[in-house]
Structure 1
Amino acid sequence: MDIMAANLQQQRAIVEQLRREAGISRLPVSEACSVMMKYISEHENDDCLLNGFSSQKVNPFREKSTCQIL
């Protein structure tokens, strides 16, 4: 009986998750792509991967200088 109760509980959890997912509002792919393209084109001036950094000090990925004692 414990196996059946556990299985029933698992199935209820799955059904509840499916109900939550069914309630999510969705967009057509074409509309979502156009929204993403608009966002990208509006923010491309701020994209460091496209434009680079204004100086090395601003670059968080620069190699850190190390102090070596000889």
Structure 2
Amino acid sequence: MRLSLGRFLVLGLEFQLAGDVLRTAVAPSFTEIGQLAAIAAIRTILNFFLTWEIAQERAEIERDQKEPVQRTAAC
């Protein structure tokens, strides 16, 4: 469930960035270009760390599925 949510968040960040780029392309000023650069940097960093977290979670799930479950006996 968390992996699906993470993928949707990554996709949403990419669409928001594309929308900001298109909005700024219509009538750019230096202020808007600077704001776009800051927004793009922040969203890129968020996207990187979110993708990294998804990859770690997926690797952990795959590792848990490969390893047999060891149960401890209660005395």
Q: Which has the higher contact order (CA 8 A, sep 6+)?
A: 2
What's the TM-score, normalizing by structure 1?
Answer: 0.40
Structure 1 or 2, whichever has the larger Rg, is 1
TM-score, length-scaled by structure 2: 0.37
Q: Which has the higher helix share?
A: 2
